[in-house]
């Protein structure tokens, strides 16, 4: 079951911008990427975006995961 997130809360969190997230040179395992991106969002005060990211990123293949990660964080 997917959780319904409040669009107003998500919009407020989006205003904070994209947090930086180091993925270059890190373990490319999908679970590691999910964890790093989620942690970066939470650390930036965007816990609801972290939930939204997890729902979206896990709805496809590995390429979809990477594309989604780049939409939610500033990858370096």
Q: Is residue 1 part of a domain?
A: no
50 in a domain, yes or no? yes
51 part of a folded domain: yes
What would the pLDDT profile of 4-29 be if each residue is shown by its tens digit? Answer: 899 999 999 999 999 999 999 999 99
Tally the domains of the chain: 1
Cβ proximity of 56 and 21 under 8 Å:
no
20-38: b or e for each residue (b if 16 or more CB lie within 10 Å)?
ebebeeeeeeeeebbebbb
Give the H/E segment covering residue 75.
strand 74-75
Residue 4 is predicted with a pLDDT of: 84
Confidence of residue 2 (pLDDT cuts 50, 70, 90): low
What is the extent of the structural domain holding 37? 14-75
Q: Flag whether 7 is in a domain.
A: no
């Amino acid at each position: 079951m997917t959780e319904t997130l409040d669009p107003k809360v998500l919009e407020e969190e989006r205003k904070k911008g994209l947090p930086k997230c180091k993925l270059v040179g890190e373990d490319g395992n999908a679970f590691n990427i999910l964890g790093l991106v989620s942690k970066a969002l939470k650390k930036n005060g965007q816990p609801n975006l972290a939930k939204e990211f997890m729902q979206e990123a896990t709805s496809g293949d590995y390429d979809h995961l990477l594309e989604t990660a780049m939409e939610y964080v500033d990858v370096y």
